Amino acid sequence: MISAQQNIECLTKLGMLKYFPVKDNVVAEIGKLLNELCRSDGEARQLTAAVCAKHSEWPGPGKIRELYQSEIVSRRPSEALPMGCEKCEDGFRREFTVFERKNSRRVIEKIRPETPREARETEQKLEDKYTRVQSPNYERDSKENFSSTVYPCSCRLGQYQQAAMSKAGA
């Protein structure tokens, strides 16, 4: 919730935009929108600055909400997120898939490092083996010799990230 003084200042700045509504009841509704969206006076100032920087005409409430999500919510500190564990990085773990030829057969190996440090070391080893050095296992005509994917960890942060990905995909 923002202060009444900040709400008035934001509405005044937004009033500089071309086609900003002039009816008092409409301006009051825009003030309510700012109050609903913004958690603090600082967020209200940031949102108003973003609107004025990106638009020369009044964009409407839908665009205000979009800007709020992209400019304010996405930049909030991650302290509100649950804690991760020592096995993950930001709630995600890495898995490497290695493709090699052994005795004329293509062999696929999955590697799941236990810690982020092990993941970086594994990636470095695979890059050294397949990318930087011409190895007998290097397949020029085929796909990459290894790939890396991320998956959510089983910790609370990983579960939170998985839920966020599901929500975004829906």
Domain map of the chain by residue range? 4-76, 92-169
pTM attached to this predicted model: 0.46
User: What is the C-alpha to C-alpha distance for residues 66 and 53, in angstroms, rounded to an integer?
Assistant: 14
Residues 128-169 pLDDT 10s: 887 654 555 554 433 468 888 999 999 988 898 888 888 776
Give the amino acid at 119: A
HSE of 9, CA atoms in CB hemisphere, 13 A: 14
Cα angle, residue 135 at apex, residues 133 and 141 outer, rounded to 5°: 105
User: What is the C-alpha to C-alpha distance for residues 34 and 3, in angstroms, rounded to an integer?
Assistant: 11
DSSP bridge partners of 111 = 96
Cα angle, residue 113 at apex, residues 109 and 118 outer, rounded to 5°: 125
